[in-house]
Amino acid sequence: MKQYLDLCQRIVNEGVWINNERTNKRCLTVINADLTYDVANHQFPLVTTRKSYWKSAIAEIIGYMRGYQSAADFRALGTKTWDANANLNEAWLKNPHRKGEDDLGLIYGALGRAFPKPNGGHVDLLQGIVDDLTKGVDNRGEILTFLHPGAFDLGCLRPCMYEHHFSLLGDTLYLNSTQRSCDVPLGLNFNMVQVYVLLALMAQITGKKPGKAYHKIVNAHIYEDQLAPMRDIQLKREPFAAPQLIINPDIKSLKDIETWVTLDDFEVKGYQHHDAIQYPFAV
Ligand SMILES: Nc1nc(=O)c2c([nH]1)NC[C@@H]1CN(c3ccc(C(=O)N[C@@H](CCC(=O)O)C(=O)O)cc3)CN21
Ligand SMILES: O=c1ccn([C@H]2C[C@H](O)[C@@H](COP(=O)(O)O)O2)c(=O)[nH]1
């Protein structure tokens, strides 16, 4: 939590105003931030200085692991966070590749679970990583990437957290996640949870111990209409102690995640938080 608040404060203190053409909003921006989550010691990085909708965050990462490409599937799992990008994003609505209501196109897991090969066919990157890690293999390239520059016009949004690199040291699993663009008040509140959960879940289904997760952010920003509530309300609050995330121990394979897992398989204990703050969302 402290590292999150430090980043927010750093943007307020040192950020540079950059005009963003896609959203037509100015963003107070810094370059480069490195966050670390101690998954081994259950340091769940949930924001406490406002109410965080952690179930939505977990629904997103499960949807990515399943290769979802429809906002309707994300809604069925328990989050409406992809509705605006599917159905209100002007550029995407005009894009001839959009297949109608709720279609997101080739985003995130739709690429990571069926990454097109230059010589034809696809590779399921996530399945390959799970198979290797289960056997104790780390080939120094256990990389789940959602980034395919040739597919940018085939999806509603380029992936923000675009790469997850898994590593084994003995039977301890590590994760390095990279994010190119980060909406710190809204997106990061979710992305921290997602990096933590991705390492915890991958360790659980491959029979490894979770170690640390390292989260690299390149462009970290606060949109102009989010600045006042962040600076004058959220940053004035004292954080509470970190809560605990409990994951159903019956989740034992990628198949389980693909077939029966729901948000009821995740529980947060001891979540003390300040009141909700509704931040504007830039489409
Ligand atoms: N501008 C922008 N910021 C983002 O963080 C973002 C995008 N666009 N587009 C793609 C996804 C969608 N994400 C989202 C979308 C909405 C919320 C949001 O509205 N969060 C509210 C309420 C969440 C709820 O009720 O479930 C929040 O207070 O956190 C968060 C992340 C993250 N990503
Ligand atoms: O997981 C996510 C997804 C999206 N975001 C934010 C970062 C930006 O504010 C927008 C994406 O806009 P681009 O113009 O494509 O950079 O969404 C996030 O923080 N986390």
Q: Measuring from atom 10 of ligand 2, which residue has the nearest CA?
A: 183
For the entire predicted model, the pTM comes to: 0.97
Q: What is the mean pLDDT of residues 82-102?
A: 96
Q: What average pLDDT does the chain have?
A: 97
Q: What is the mean pLDDT of residues 200-208?
A: 98
- The pLDDT tens digits for 257-282 are 999 999 999 999 999 999 999 999 99
Residue 151 reports pLDDT greater than 90: yes
- State the Rg of the chain over Cα: 18
Q: Establish whether 27 is a catalytic residue.
A: no
- The share of the chain scoring above pLDDT 90, in percent, equals 100
Q: Of 174, 180, 141, 140, give the one whose Cα is nearest residue 162.
A: 180
Residue 68 reports pLDDT greater than 80: yes
* pLDDT band at residue 73 under the 50/70/90 scheme: very high
The DSSP result for 100-126, as a single string, is STTB-BS-HHHHHTSEEPTTSSEE-HH
Q: What is the mean pLDDT of residues 113-125?
A: 97
Quote the pLDDT of residue 1.
77
Q: Do residues 193 and 215 lie in contact, with contact meaning Cβ atoms separated by under 8 Å? A: no
- The pLDDT tens digits for 14-28 are 999 999 999 999 999
Tell me if 183 is assigned to a ligand binding site.
yes
Ligand 2 centre distance from Cα of residue 148 (Å): 16
CA distance 76 to 65: 15
Tell me the two tokens of residue 42. 């259950």
161 in contact with ligand 2, CB cutoff 6 A: yes
Tell me the two tokens of residue 236. 């004035």
The dihedral over CA atoms of 17, 19, 20, 26, expressed in degrees to the nearest 10, equals 60
In the numeric block, the tokens 């909406």 are attached to 183
